[in-house]
Structure 1
Amino acid sequence: MTTSDGSVARDDRAQATRDAILSTAERLFAERGVYNVSNRQISEAAGQGNNAAVHYHFGTKHDLIAALVDRHLTAQRRRRATYVAQLGANPTLRDWVACVVLPVTDHLAELGRPTWQARFKAQLVTDPTLQAVLDDTNALDAALQTTIDGVHRCVTHLPAPVRAERADITKHLMVHMAADRERAIARDLPTPRATWREAAEGLIDAIVGIWEAPVSDAAQPRG
């Protein structure tokens, strides 16, 4: 069956509306906080005459947040798969850490200015309910799991609880450093590094240092 031009035009308009809502929601969430923005406010700011546009196109606020997360993490998954595929026969710890960091910073650089994605994501990792949305999407990233396994193979001398702890430190460092840099750029404030790629190199250095740090006697897990 051939789709009519009218149907194609309607589909294009619907997609344009969805894109406008997603971009507007991300900006408002980043600037005001997820729980301080209503679906009605998003619809109005996105230029939708129907105040129920968010509900019509996405459903609940939770569904909208899931769509926002997927919008970015899908692109990052593709980048990470490419980086992992380019690794040599014997990747170092730094190589694996780069596969964690670069897909995120490359994506932020590609978005141009201004961006809101990093500040939006930072809100998700501090909320148990919203964190689950990230976890569900990350679970679909096979290259991320490969990367995590690669990091852990490089630090098998560390006790399992210490590896888990440093994985959490890595996650929060990445998320909040990206959000802080994005916030500074949005406010035309100086940043330690001129570009996202330079910021990534500094972040990779710091994360490698965290994983290579010795474990003090006081931090050793107790049996």
Structure 2
Amino acid sequence: MSEARSKAGNRSSDTRERLIVAAEQLFGERGIHAVTLKEINAAAGQRNESALHYHFGSKKALIGSILRQRADVLDTRRSQLLDDLAASGEKPDLRGVVKIAFQPIFELLHTRDGVRFARFVAQVLGDPQFDLPRMTVWGRYDGLTRVNILLADYLNDLPPEVAEQRQRFMLEMAISALAIWTRRHDALKDVAAREFFTANLVDGLLGMLTAPVSAETEAALTPAVKSRGRKTDERKARAD
């Protein structure tokens, strides 16, 4: 009986993984809203059209499951990189922090799994149902939390609103650039081009984070902060 249950559990796990891979592939290629649950079931080889609903319940829950599963693996690697650095007694400079933030996905760009995830997460980034930057700032991911603490320390000379928005820019720019890179016909094979791309991307993100705050931005900051404060007060009033 226990052996039968074990086999059934393995089949269920295999089905779940096939659905995740199929959905990730289709979402990355065509976009979140252009793919139906029926198409995902078919791509995963599931003749039972209720398979996806059984395992995930909804498209939004499926997307959340993909994000968590992939992000858990990436963040474990990110934590390992930070632990190795801490063990050496070195503190990374700001460029090193930015590199560690994205190194786990850089390391997968030569694999079909990495390419598939980069394209998928770029589609999620553009979907208003998911605030991906906010999901990654202070969440369940220890490695990302540690990275954000280091970033906040290095950016503490910037106005808080500027630093916060630039951290969002960093994620949005990196994800978009990674997804575009994977469209190259030689993305999986050209090691030298890939290493140049990732190094230059880190440089670009660093430049964006550390750029001086212009007089124009400073002048626009106060009205923007006041506007956001009014909107927050209005939301609180409606909630009360």
Shorter-chain TM-score tier:
0.7 to 0.9
1:165 aligns with 2:158: no
| SS in structure 2 at match of 1:34 | coil
Partner deviation per Cα, 1:18-40 (whole Å, 9 max, x = no partner): 11111111111111111111111
| SS in structure 2 at match of 1:222 | helix
Task: Name the CA distance, whole Å, in 2 between partners of 1:219 and 1:155.
Answer: 16
TM-score under structure 1 length normalisation? 0.87
1:99 aligns with 2:97: no
The answer for the alignment partner of 1:124 in structure 2 is 124
Task: Name the CA distance, whole Å, in 2 between partners of 1:103 and 1:127.
Answer: 23
Q: What does 1:49-198 align with in structure 2 at a 5 Å threshold?
A: 49-87=47-85, 88-109=89-110, 111-112=111-112, 115-131=115-131, 135=135, 139-185=139-185, 188=186, 194=192, 196-198=194-196
Unaligned 5+ segments in structure 2 are 224-240
Cα shift at 1:82: 0.8
Task: Name the CA distance, whole Å, in 2 between partners of 1:152 and 1:133.
Answer: 15
Q: CA 1:156 to 1:136, structure 2 compared with 1: closer, same or farther past 3 Å? A: closer
RMSD of aligned Cα (Å): 2.6
Q: Which runs of 4+ in 1 moved over 6 A?
A: 189-193
Greater relative contact order structure (CA < 8 Å, 6+ sep): 1
Task: Name the CA distance, whole Å, in 1 between partners of 2:97 and 2:61.
Answer: 32
Cα shift at 1:184: 2.1
Decide whether the 8 Å contact of 1:39 with 1:61 is kept in 2.
Answer: yes
Decide whether the 8 Å contact of 2:133 with 2:172 is kept in 1.
Answer: no
Cα shift at 1:5: 2.1
Decide whether the 8 Å contact of 1:69 with 1:134 is kept in 2.
Answer: no
Cα shift at 1:150: 0.7
The answer for the alignment partner of 2:9 in structure 1 is 11
Cα shift at 1:123: 1.4
Task: Name the CA distance, whole Å, in 1 between partners of 2:171 and 2:133.
Answer: 15
Unaligned 5+ segments in structure 1 are none
Q: CA 1:113 to 1:195, structure 2 compared with 1: closer, same or farther past 3 Å? A: farther
Decide whether the 8 Å contact of 2:78 with 2:101 is kept in 1.
Answer: yes
Task: Name the CA distance, whole Å, in 1 between partners of 2:136 and 2:170.
Answer: 19
Paired letter, 1:21: L
The share of aligned pairs that are identical, in percent, is 28
1:219 aligns with 2:220: no
Number of residue pairs the alignment of both structures matches: 218
Task: Name the CA distance, whole Å, in 2 between partners of 1:168 and 1:44.
Answer: 36
